[in-house]
Structures are given as structure tokens and as C-alpha cells.
């Protein structure tokens, strides 16, 4: 859908008001006696909060966490609670289009990355969020008082809008995507890019769908048809151009295309709209247009039937509930419910001969397979089949992965519900098996202090010994970052200078973050955190700019070993070496 044209139209015609968040919250409290909330487009919020950070070196996670805290705090001081929504499972119709859409995105980003590495310019080109930001945001916002996190089960926009329409204390949706003005009963939309403070008071641009419809001379219920004919994704761009040309000829050219399309949808049935818009071929498009319009109707959430008493249905209900509350990410829910996983397109490796044939999705395949076994253990006798959406080079396709129902002799699976409520040692044994830990009991990892170091240690051990894609001196640089990053403020990390991008360093940063995210998913499946979910996120042991700076410096010194000559506090050498002993399998407790 083309929502940008709607936003351009609304801004060009001043269809918004600048409101004080504190004032509208107090007004709501005076009327209802209850505190107000705003539904937040979580993905849009991540883009907004990270907009001035580094998009090339691997991610500034410490600075991002601080931005999240500051964002929530200023709304909390204004008396407004925030309910963050993040992606759930894609609707069935979007799943079918995934390979084609992903392939187009892969090609675009690949060309951008090629240009980036040719010029070494870290400031220009299209932006792509670092891998771990959205997963980190889910955890950060859950851990902040006065906020709530909800992960959608199906369509992200629809479920966010439905909450805003049905919650009596919700003032509207905060987003830069005008789709939230189109859904029925949407009260208002607050724009991120109109968010600023005057003397400590938060002010925002507020758009109302009723104002938009009135200015266009249509009814509010006509807005779904308006955006459908403006830019349906299900009508190819060539056909859309013909439609818009035909409408401009019929109704007269206007400064904004929205005004022309408004004439089409005014007082016409869908069939009449299609006759005018598509001419003699109108019947071909009726079903597509109706489906696009119906997309804006709220759907009831599917539930497991009461007659289904299988133990797996109980597990699915619990997984779904944990997902809705923000505890379990969409990737885990997708495998549990649909046996499908998008392994993503990590494109840094796509144009370097050195990495030919090696995608990060392939590197992590064995860990994912073991996680599937634990997650799907109660869903049948096996083998299990999981459909992975895979990217290699610029090819994106579906791949069936067969997973055996198998565990080592010393590892027991009591069932997920019992596992999550039961013995911690059992959780560690399952987790250690999934991630290929140094020992089957997890004792080596559990000996690390602070305990959040379990995450980078397990990730680096896997990449060194099972995947065999990480060199010893590269693991050392990650270890130095993991131990030292806590010693820097977000401001100090932000000031670090990366004069050029090294392709290998960019690839390794992406690979490390993806391994960490996969490892954290495995921990969630096993019911573990180190020590809490909020404490073991990336900002505790990684920063992309810091890693890139150290990598370039080490490369200039021919990757000399970590020693007393190193440019960091010597007191950190002992914990660095302890971490490296685990990573290299030389820990005294290693079995």
C-alpha cells in the first residue's frame, strides 16, 4: 500500500494539530478517572530512536538502550503509558509472496553494499537496521516500568490498530505509517517525526482520520478503498500507472493524486470503481480490490478448539500466550505453529569471493535443527519438517529441513511445560546440547562472571569449533569487546571513529549477532536467561563501532596476540583470557 502519499497529502494540507501529551493525558484522566495509553508501532519506533546512529558497523546497542529508556521516561513523566507492538506471524497471503519480495530486497541491498565497500563511505546509501535492534527493543521495553510489550500473532498493523480502536484508554497509535489512519474506529495517529520537547513538555503532531476523510470529501469508511486504488501491492506498478492516468483524465489532474482517487471512491460500489479504474478488464480486478479493502476489517483471533485436548495443543496455547506478552519472539512461535522460519538475508557475504557459498543461515543450520527438536518434541513422533526461507547469493527460496526426534543419552526432555517450571540443570543440559557448548552440563559456561558472558562465550565457541568460520585472532577481538564494552558510556562508544569499513569485519559482526540471536532463542525454548533476559542483550557485551575500530587496529598490526601491549586497561587482561579459555576449549573445567 502507498501510505506515503496519504501522509504527504495530510501534511501539505495541515491536517494535523500540535498537542501537548501531558495536556491530553490530563484531559483523559479528568473525563474517565483512568490513565491514558498510546499504542506504539514498535518497528517504527526502533527506526526513529536509532535514526542518528551507525547503520554500517554492526550496531550501537548501548546507545540504543539509553535512547529507549529516555523515550519511555519522557512519556511517563507526561502521564502516558506506552504499549509497544512488534511483528508477529505474516498472514497466509504474505507468506506465499515471501520469496519474491525477499529476492527483490536482496538484490537492492546487495547493490548498495557493493557500492558501500567500493567507496568505504559509511554515511551514504540506503539504511538497513542492524540485526539485533528489534529483538533487543522487545526485551528493553518489557523491562521498563509503565510500558507493555505485545507481539502480534498475525497481521502486525491490524492487531495494533484493533487494540487502539477497542481500548477505551488508548489515545491513538504512534507511528509514521499512515495505515493507522485507515482502519475502522482509529481515533488518531501521533507522528514520531513530529515529536519534540519545549521546556520539558512533550509535543506531538496528531492526525485524525475524520479530518483526512472530510478534507477529501469522502466518508471515513471510504479510506480503505482510497489507499487500495492509490497503491495496492497486489496490482502491478504498470497497471497502477494506467489506472491513475485514466482517473486523472476523467476527474481532472490535481496537485495530489489522493484528491483524484477520492472522486473515484465517493458514493461508488466496488464494481463501479473497478469499471471506471480498469476499463474493459475490470472483472479481473474485483476480487483483488475487495480483498485489499477487507484487509482493513478486524479479524477475530483464532483459538484452539476446546475439544482439542492433546498435550501439544496445551503447549501451543502456552507458547502463544508467552508470545503475546512479549516473552517469546515471533521466530519461535512461527516454528511451533507453522513449522516455518525465515532465516533472513544477511548480505555482507554475498559479494565477496572469500565467502562464496557460505551464508550465515547455513552456518547456524545445525544449531537451528537441534532447537527444532527440543521445541517440537511433543508435536508428534518425528521426523519433523520445518520450512526455512533461505537466502544464498541473490536467490531466495523455500527449503524443507528434516529434523529427527533425537537427544543424546544423557539429555532428558520432560516436555516444555514441565521444563520451564522444573529443574534448572535439565534446562542447562538441553541448552548446552542445542548450542554445542564446551560440556554437556553447561558447567563451563555457568562458571563465567558476570553471567551475561555466557552468551558471547557460547556464540564464539560454536563459531570456532562447530561452524569453523571464526579465526582465533578474530575471537580474541570479540572477547576484548565483550569484556571492555561495559567500561564505556554510550556517548564514548558513539564518538568512536570508523574511517572505513572492512568487508570481513562487517561480515563477522553480522555473523556474531545472528549467532547470539539464535542462541537467545534457544535459551528461551529451554527456559533460561543469564541472569535475566534484559541483562543478557547485546549491549552488555558488543558494540559494532568498537568491534570495527579494534578489528582495523588489529589488522594494521597483523593481528598480534592479546597481551600487555594492548591499548586497553591491563586489569582487563585476566577476564579476557578467562573468556578466551572457554572459547578455545582450554578451560580447566572442560571435559
Strand partners, 151: 86
pLDDT (0 to 100) of residue 284: 95
Q: Which of 143-152, 293-302, 338-347 has the highest mean pLDDT?
A: 143-152
pLDDT (0 to 100) of residue 174: 97
Strand partners, 80: 36
Sequence-separated (6 or more) residues with CB below 8 Å from residue 217: 262, 266
> What is the per-residue pLDDT across 208-263, written as a single tens digit (0 to 9) for each?
999 999 999 999 999 999 999 999 888 998 999 999 999 999 998 888 899 999 99
Statement: residue 350 has pLDDT above 50: no
The mean pLDDT value for 430-444 works out to: 95
pLDDT (0 to 100) of residue 266: 94
Statement: residue 11 has pLDDT above 80: yes
Q: Express as a percent the part of the chain with pLDDT over 70.
A: 85
pLDDT (0 to 100) of residue 567: 53
> C-alpha cell of 315?
503447549
Structural domain boundaries of the chain?
A: 4-91+125-215, 217-294, 311-583
CA distance 70 to 321: 29
pLDDT (0 to 100) of residue 113: 56
Statement: residue 115 has pLDDT above 70: no
Q: Which of 100-114, 176-190, 381-395, 464-478 has the lowest mean pLDDT?
A: 100-114
356 pLDDT band, cuts 50/70/90, is very low
CA distance 254 to 506: 47
Could you tell me which residue, 287 or 93, shows the higher pLDDT?
287
CA distance 468 to 138: 31
Secondary structure percentages of the chain, helix, strand, coil, to 5: 55, 10, 35
Of 369, 368, 357, the residue nearest 395 (C-alpha): 357
Does 383 sit behind a cis peptide bond, omega within 30 degrees of 0 on the bond before it?
yes
pLDDT (0 to 100) of residue 215: 96
pLDDT (0 to 100) of residue 569: 61
- Which class does domain 4-91+125-215 fall in? alpha beta
pLDDT (0 to 100) of residue 499: 85
For residues 229 and 215, is the Cβ–Cβ distance under 8 A?
Answer: no
Give the 3-state secondary structure of residue 357.
coil
Q: Which of 107-121, 291-305, 555-569, 570-584 has the highest mean pLDDT?
A: 570-584
Of 173, 146, 171, 3, the residue nearest 85 (C-alpha): 173
> What is the per-residue pLDDT across 181-199, written as a single tens digit (0 to 9) for each?
999 888 899 999 888 888 7
> C-alpha cell of 523?
535459551
Could you tell me where the DSSP H helices lie in 339-471?
360-363, 365-375, 416-421, 424-435, 443-446, 454-461
Secondary element (H or E) of residue 274: helix 270-278
Q: Express as a percent the part of the chain with pLDDT over 90.
A: 66
For residues 373 and 384, is the Cβ–Cβ distance under 8 A?
Answer: yes
Q: How many helices (H) and strands (E) does the chain have?
A: 26, 10
Q: Which of 188-202, 499-513, 516-530 has the highest mean pLDDT?
A: 516-530
pLDDT (0 to 100) of residue 153: 87
Could you tell me which residue, 18 or 342, shows the higher pLDDT?
18
> What is the per-residue pLDDT across 42-89, written as a single tens digit (0 to 9) for each?
999 999 999 999 988 899 999 999 999 999 999 999 999 999 999 877
pLDDT (0 to 100) of residue 306: 41
588 pLDDT band, cuts 50/70/90, is very low
Q: State if pTM tops 0.75.
A: yes
Secondary element (H or E) of residue 151: strand 147-151
Average pLDDT, whole number, for the chain?
87
> What is the per-residue pLDDT across 399-408, written as a single tens digit (0 to 9) for each?
899 999 999 9
pLDDT (0 to 100) of residue 355: 46
pLDDT (0 to 100) of residue 461: 98
pLDDT (0 to 100) of residue 349: 45
> What is the per-residue pLDDT across 487-500, written as a single tens digit (0 to 9) for each?
999 999 999 988 88
Amino acid at each position: 500500500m502507498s501510505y506515503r502519499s496519504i501522509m504527504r497529502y495530510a501534511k501539505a494540507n495541515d491536517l494535523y494539530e500540535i498537542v501537548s501529551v501531558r495536556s491530553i493525558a490530563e484531559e483523559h484522566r479528568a473525563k474517565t478517572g483512568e490513565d491514558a495509553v498510546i499504542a506504539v508501532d514498535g518497528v517504527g519506533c526502533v527506526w526513529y530512536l536509532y535514526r542518528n546512529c551507525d547503520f554500517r558497523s554492526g550496531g550501537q546497542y548501548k546507545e540504543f538502550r539509553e535512547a529507549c529508556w529516555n523515550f519511555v521516561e519522557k512519556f511517563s513523566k507526561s502521564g502516558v503509558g506506552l504499549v509497544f507492538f512488534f511483528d508477529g506471524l505474516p498472514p497466509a497471503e504474505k507468506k506465499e509472496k515471501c520469496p519474491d519480495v525477499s529476492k527483490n530486497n536482496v538484490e537492492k541491498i546487495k547493490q548498495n553494499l557493493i557500492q558501500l565497500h567500493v567507496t568505504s563511505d559509511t554515511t551514504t546509501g540506503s539504511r538497513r537496521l542492524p540485526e539485533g535492534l528489534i529483538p533487543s527493543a522487545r526485551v528493553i521495553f518489557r523491562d521498563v516500568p509503565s510500558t507493555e510489550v505485545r507481539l502480534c500473532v498475525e497481521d502486525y498493523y491490524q492487531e495494533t490498530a484493533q487494540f487502539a480502536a477497542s481500548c477505551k484508554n488508548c489515545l491513538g497509535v504512534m507511528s509514521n505509517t499512515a495505515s493507522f489512519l485507515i482502519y475502522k474506529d482509529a481515533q488518531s495517529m501521533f507522528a514520531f517525526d513530529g515529536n519534540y520537547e519545549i521546556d520539558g513538555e512533550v509535543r506531538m503532531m496528531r492526525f485524525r482520520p475524520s479530518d483526512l476523510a472530510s478534507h477529501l470529501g469522502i466518508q471515513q469508511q471510504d479510506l480503505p478503498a482510497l489507499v487500495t486504488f492509490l497503491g495496492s501491492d497486489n496490482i502491478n506498478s504498470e497497471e497502477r500507472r494506467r489506472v491513475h492516468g485514466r482517473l486523472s483524465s476523467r476527474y481532472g489532474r490535481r496537485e495530489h493524486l489522493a484528491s483524484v482517487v477520492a472522486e473515484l471512491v465517493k458514493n461508488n460500489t466496488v464494481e463501479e470503481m473497478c469499471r471506471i479504474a480498469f476499463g474493459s478488464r475490470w472483472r479481473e480486478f474485483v476480487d483483488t480490490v475487495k480483498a485489499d479493502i477487507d484487509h482493513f476489517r478486524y479479524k477475530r483471533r483464532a483459538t484452539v478448539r476446546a475439544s482439542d485436548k492433546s498435550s501439544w495443543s496445551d503447549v501451543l496455547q502456552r507458547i502463544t500466550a508467552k508470545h503475546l506478552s512479549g516473552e517469546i519472539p515471533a521466530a519461535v512461535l512461527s516454528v511451533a505453529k507453522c513449522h516455518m522460519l525465515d532465516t533472513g538475508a544477511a548480505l555482507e557475504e554475498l559479494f565477496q569471493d572469500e565467502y562464496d557459498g557460505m551464508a550465515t543461515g547455513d552456518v547456524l543450520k545445525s544449531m537451528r535443527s537441534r532447537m527444532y527438536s527440543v521445541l517440537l518434541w511433543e508435536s508428534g513422533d518425528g521426523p519433523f519438517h520445518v520450512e526455512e526461507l533461505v537466502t544464498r547469493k541473490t536467490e531466495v527460496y523455500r527449503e524443507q529441513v528434516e529434523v529427527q526426534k533425537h537427544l543424546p543419552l544423557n539429555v532428558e526432555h520432560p516436555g516444555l511445560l514441565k521444563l520451564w517450571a522444573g529443574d534448572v540443570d535439565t534446562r542447562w543440559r538441553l541448552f548446552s546440547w542445542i548450542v554445542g557448548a564446551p560440556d554437556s552440563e553447561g558447567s563451563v559456561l555457568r562458571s563465567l562472571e558476570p553471567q551475561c558472558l555466557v552468551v558471547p562465550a557460547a556464540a564464539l565457541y560454536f563459531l570456532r569449533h562447530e561452524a569453523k568460520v571464526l579465526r582465533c585472532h578474530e575471537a580474541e577481538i570479540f572477547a576484548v569487546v565483550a569484556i571492555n564494552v561495559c567500561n564505556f558510556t554510550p556517548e564514548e562508544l558513539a564518538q568512536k571513529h570508523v574511517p572505513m569499513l572492512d568487508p570481513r569485519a562487517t561480515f563477522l559482526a553480522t555473523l556474531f549477532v545472528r549467532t547470539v540471536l539464535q542462541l537467545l532463542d534457544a535459551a528461551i525454548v529451554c527456559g533460561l536467561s543469564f541472569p535475566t533476559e534484559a541483562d543478557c542483550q547485546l549491549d552488555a557485551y558488543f558494540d559494532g563501532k568498537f568491534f570495527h575500530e579494534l578489528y582495523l587496529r588489529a589488522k594494521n598490526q597483523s593481528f598480534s596476540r592479546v597481551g600487555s601491549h594492548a591499548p586497553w586497561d591491563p586489569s582487563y587482561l585476566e577476564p579476557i583470557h578467562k573468556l578466551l579459555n572457554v572459547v578455545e576449549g582450554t578451560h580447566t573445567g572442560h571435559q
